[in-house]
A and B are shown apart, each in its own frame.
Chain A
Amino acid sequence: MNFYGLVDGTEASLKKYLGSLSGVDQVGADARAAMLATRSIKTTSKRWAIDTAITMVDLTTLEGADTPGKVKALCTKAVRPDPTDSTVPSVGAVCVYNDMVEIARTHLDLIGGQHVGVAAVSTAFPSGRASMAVKIQDTKDAVNAGASEIDMVIDRGAFLSGRYIEVFDEIVKIREVCGTKAHLKVIFETGELVTYDNVRKASFLAMAAGADFIKTSTGKVAPAATAPVVLVMLEAVRDFYAMTQVRIGVKPAGGIRNTKDAIKQLVLVNETAGPEWLKPSLFRIGASALLNDLLMQRMKMDDGYYASPQYVTID
């Protein structure tokens, strides 16, 4: 593999590549994200943003208590988020553990949701603490069960102790398992990487190793998809495009619970990576509660009065 010509797969070349990255000033990044959060998105642009955000949702259930029934209900909601309004678009994908992939895929196909992808969390999600063999098997299982997207976690322990080449090699191997069947999203768990310098470094590492998407968090650790972390990742994909002419997607996940938060994310995308990223093939939002708030805001815009949770489904 040539890794876009950026690294040759050796530790030395990876270190050189990561060492060439500029740092991130936390206060400056926070300030930029805070400024963009003041954007006032109203009327027609808000309506557009809500529908766009719905198409970007990776509707997620990642619970120990997940059952086939729960997953099927989720799939139904993913295809037709509002059963009373056919103009509401389907979400981008459902996101489940790998033992639920087959159930999800089958059910989606059954209810006319062929266009909705199934994303499987992988590589000993959420901790990433397992042998490479297990991680590979985990991923193979998901791909074989019909997952079109693999959300792998990186080994944060390896990353934080400077064993970047191990993180890199893992991504490369999982990328190989995904082959042409599945897109690869690489989860950093930014709440554990802590610094924006690390987020930027992890972003460039994952992109060179073959990630199709870079993703903030598992949803199991806080803080998760904070605005400045997403900003730093959007800057990374923008800069990576300038280097390689390849657009890598970004997926914030965790903590995005309402329409206001989602629209802030879209503003970040629009003014950082650029409008080219404002589509589900390049931007996803990992969320569970968000969808209903988007639906309620959509109702408010259509009806002119505030909505009630009574009128949106709880699946």
Chain B
Amino acid sequence: MSNRIDVKKTYKLFINGAFPRTESGRTYEVKNAKGVFIANPCLASRKDLKDAVVAARAAQHGWNKATAYNKGQILYRLAEMLEGRRAQFVDEIVTVTGVSKAKAEKEVTDSVDRLVWYAGWTDKISSLSGALNPVAGPYYNFTIPESMGVIAAIAPETPSLLGLIDSIAPIIVGGNTVVVLASTKAPLSAISFAEVIATSDVPAGVINILTGKKDEITPWMASHMDIDGLDISGLGAKKHAEVKTAGTENLKRIYSFKSADPGRILAFMENKTVWHPIGL
């Protein structure tokens, strides 16, 4: 055994491509399954949410404008970077949740593969959902799925990494930017994933990650007038009615999902129909 003292990581938020501490100065203790202290991640406040939404909104136009090919490569780059840091993620999952190493490895493998799967959707989703509509007249008429804007997401408690991937990737595949609240009990994978993001050519503000308490942040997400949609897959079913009701103030699109499929991408895309005359 070495006598060397470990350099431990300070777990911070990920907003606009940077790693700030919460403006509230608050943290909470994360312990492992046996109750041993592991880290003091940030307890994000509604003001952190507000800042994250500003960053996400500012980034949305540019991210949406990036070509589908480019978006696909960036998502694939996330998979590459995650693959390269498998060991770290496996360790963190084992440490925090107490699952077996084999199970943690499977989650990381699935997460990498899931990212690769989503990466391939960026340039296919519009052929899946778009249409050339044969209207009864001299008009060229097509419908295409388009980004909805800024989407907030509440990641499930477990699996903390794979669940986070499902809370982020389908949203950004569609050209949206995202503010995600990570698993409260197991936030380390999320914060480490932010480091993956930071080294993957994802433009600042496209993905923003908060750590904290669902009960505290969710109502502010639901009522925020500059959030266009909300993924509440990570929120207990009992809370859905309340959140959906609060979200009606700006007719926010609020959904929860059971699986990863193209519907999950399309849920946060709008359909735009364009008409143009055909003539000389």
Contact = CB atoms under 8 A, between A and B. Distances in A.
- A–B: direct contact at CB < 8 Å: yes
Interface of A: 25-28, 30, 194-197
B280 A28 contact: no
Q: Lowest 4 CB-CB distances: which A-B pairs, in order?
A: A26-B279, A27-B277, A27-B279, A195-B280
B69 interface: no
Contacts of A28: 277
A25 to B, nearest CB: 6
Given A25-B279, A194-B280, 15 more contacts: A25-B277, A26-B277, A26-B279, A26-B280, A27-B138, A27-B139, A27-B277, A27-B278, A27-B279, A28-B277, A30-B138, A30-B279, A195-B280, A196-B280, A197-B280
17 contacts: A25-B277, A25-B279, A26-B277, A26-B279, A26-B280, A27-B138, A27-B139, A27-B277, A27-B278, A27-B279, A28-B277, A30-B138, A30-B279, A194-B280, A195-B280, A196-B280, A197-B280
Nearest to B138: A27
Contacts, number: 17
Chain B interface, >50% SS class: loop
Contacts of A194: 280
A239 to B, nearest CB: 21
Interface string B261-280: 00000000000000001111
Interface in B26-44: none
B49 to A, nearest CB: 48
Contacts of B277: 25-28
A36 B279 CA distance: 20
Contacts of A195: 280
Nearest to B139: A27
Of B138, B277, B279, chain A has the most CB atoms within 10 Å of the CB of B279
A26 B139 CA distance: 11
Interface in B234-280: 277-280
Contacts of B139: 27
Contacts of A30: 138, 279
Contacts of A27: 138-139, 277-279
A194 to B, nearest CB: 7
Nearest to B278: A27
Contacts of A25: 277, 279
Interface in B120-155: 138-139
Interface in B170-229: none
Of A25, A26, A27, A194, chain B has the most CB atoms within 10 Å of the CB of A27
Contacts of B138: 27, 30
Nearest to B277: A27
Nearest to A27: B277
Contacts of B280: 26, 194-197
A55 B278 CA distance: 39
B221 to A, nearest CB: 45
Nearest to B279: A26
A25 B278 CA distance: 9
A265 to B, nearest CB: 22
A166 to B, nearest CB: 24
A246 B50 CA distance: 64
A69 to B, nearest CB: 44
A27 B138 CA distance: 7
A28 B139 CA distance: 11
A289 to B, nearest CB: 29
Contacts of B278: 27
Contacts of A196: 280
B33 to A, nearest CB: 69
Nearest to B137: A27
A25 B279 CA distance: 7
A194 B280 CA distance: 9
Nearest to A26: B279
B127 to A, nearest CB: 28
B136 to A, nearest CB: 13
Nearest to B276: A27
Nearest to A25: B277
A27 B280 CA distance: 8
A30 B138 CA distance: 10
A159 to B, nearest CB: 16
Contacts of B279: 25-27, 30
A27 B139 CA distance: 9
A25 B138 CA distance: 12
A80 to B, nearest CB: 44
A33 to B, nearest CB: 13
Nearest to A198: B280
Contacts of A197: 280
A63 B119 CA distance: 73
A27 B277 CA distance: 6
A26 B137 CA distance: 13
Nearest to A197: B280
A221 B4 CA distance: 98
B139 to A, nearest CB: 7
B252 to A, nearest CB: 38
Contacts of A26: 277, 279-280
Nearest to A196: B280
Interface in B62-84: none
B124 to A, nearest CB: 33
A26 to B, nearest CB: 3
B154 to A, nearest CB: 48
